[in-house]
Amino acid sequence: MPVRYENTPCPGCGKPLAAGEDIVTCPECGAAQHRACWLAQNRCVLSEKHGEGFVWKPEPEQATASPEDKILASHIHRWEEQGEQAPPEQASPEGESFFCPNCGRKNKLGSLQCENCSYLFFAPSSKYPPAPGTRQAWVAEQGDPYYIPPEEDLGGAAAGDLALVVRHNARLYLRKFKLLAQNGKSLVFNFAAFLLGGYWFVYRKLYTAAAIFLGLSLVADLLMNWLLYTTEPGKLFMDSYESLLLALSDGTLNAALMEQAESAVRGTYAIVLPFFGVKLLSGLTAGFIADRLYYKKSVGTVRTLRQIHRSETDFQFAALRLGGGSVMQLVVAYLLIMLIKQLAAKLLLGV
């Protein structure tokens, strides 16, 4: 086992722990104990002492294990319980390094993300960073047909740096970025941008494109509503719509009303279909240019941050702050557009 507590008394039975024995380590307090002692209570023998700040320590005169070894041991124990094969034994880190609390692999001190499993560390100044509770996508693992080495240059920025900036769905975007780096004319399409339009650009912090697509969509929606409320076919459609709602509410819906409504809908084709065409064209345009714009922006972000920040830690912090997506901005943009539509309807249409 990677963590050795030879001759350290077991906190359960008091007998010294010997090499070759079946020993487990509590993932909460780090207590090394015989597996039989653990199974006797079906929990850590020191579970009653578990609480804020409690960490088991071997007797001073006995050999001690480093905090990194305790972290790794807890994962070895988890792997054994799940019937998985533990990774090869790793020595305690020397110098500027620490073990990832998620997978147990060795990382450089100051890293904000595990090089093996992409676990994010939000305390780079600490040698033993806490588990952040979030895992982000990274480059595909070796052996994966889409594997991209973190150090591979993708048009002026390393794949690892781009992955840190992209974060969410980084594997997907890195594959697209590689195609664009190899051939700028490669055909790439973003279905999320096609479906969400300007809102996708807001989420990915491409504000200029977001303003253009959301502005065009807003103008098209307002113009279509204005035509529906002011033209004769539009008025007929709105009247039929209100009649249907009233008939549904009081149970007087009949075939004549349905036929009248169908006729009114057909009368609005000349108004509605062109706007649906505009929406479709706008969505296709967004889908085809989204990845190119995002690739250009991500590479530019990495280059700028590399020029500004000489420290790897400072660079990674800045990349995490400026990169990724923003759900909050997406929600704010949606609410703002809805508010503008409501105000415009009251001011222009009086509804």
What confidence tens digit (pLDDT) does each residue in 244-254 have?
A: 778 788 877 78
Q: What is the pLDDT of residue 103?
A: 61
Helix extents (H) in the chain? 35-41, 67-81, 159-166, 170-182, 191-196, 198-203, 207-230, 232-250, 255-267, 269-308, 312-322, 327-344
Determine the length of the chain: 351
**Burial class of 260 by CB neighbour count within 10 A (0 to 12, 13 to 18, 19+):** middle
What confidence tens digit (pLDDT) does each residue in 99-132 have?
A: 665 566 777 766 666 777 666 654 333 333 333 3
* Distance (Å, whole) CA 302 – CA 165: 7
For the entire predicted model, the pTM comes to: 0.57
What confidence tens digit (pLDDT) does each residue in 8-27 have?
A: 888 888 888 877 788 888 87
